[in-house]
């Protein structure tokens, strides 16, 4: 067995004034993470926009039904339009407020959601009569 007297702790280096230990990883562009106030304002903007987009999607659904599209395809197109506009708004608002344009952890999933809902909207509008 090892003798406890032979054990020594590593020496500490003198501090240069910078904080050590656990720190929050800085944002990609060097900005601090979004504050609670910024998140609240962005969420309210997206929520108000989503409410407007809901009524717009209902109007589009009714218009497509009047143009002899099947009600299920018109409903799918309306909901896909709603999600496309809402995801796009969230991408623009939080990308702008939080300066998240360079963060792939934000941009990639949002881009997939936006493009997927746009494709679904176009396919639903063009599909079955």
- pLDDT, tens only, 42-56: 999 999 999 999 999
Q: What is the mean pLDDT of the chain?
A: 83
Query: Mean pLDDT highest for which of 10-24, 43-57, 115-129?
Result: 43-57
pTM over the 0.85 mark: no
Q: Residue 14: its pLDDT value, please?
A: 67
CA 63 distance to own-chain centroid: 30
- Residue 39: count of CB within 10 angstroms of its CB: 14
Choose the weakest-confidence range: 22-26, 53-57, 90-94: 22-26
- Stretch 76-100: mean pLDDT: 91
pLDDT at 72 over 70: yes
pLDDT at 106 over 50: yes
Choose the weakest-confidence range: 76-80, 101-105, 121-125: 101-105
Task: List the Cα angle 83/89/91 in 5-degree steps.
Answer: 100
Listed in sequence order, the DSSP H helices in the chain are 36-66, 71-97, 104-126
């Amino acid at each position: 067995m090892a003798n406890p007297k032979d054990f020594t702790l590593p020496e500490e280096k003198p501090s240069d004034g910078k904080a050590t230990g656990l720190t929050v990883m800085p944002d990609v562009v060097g900005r601090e993470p979004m504050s609670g106030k910024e998140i609240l304002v962005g969420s309210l903007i997206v929520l108000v926009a989503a409410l407007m987009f809901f009524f717009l999607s209902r109007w589009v659904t009714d218009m497509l039904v009047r143009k002899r599209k099947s009600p299920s395809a018109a409903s799918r197109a309306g909901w896909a339009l709603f999600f496309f506009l809402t995801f796009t708004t969230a991408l623009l608002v939080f990308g702008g407020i939080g300066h998240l344009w360079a963060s792939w952890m934000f941009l990639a999933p949002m881009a997939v959601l936006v493009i997927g809902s746009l494709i679904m909207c176009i396919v639903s509008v063009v599909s079955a009569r």
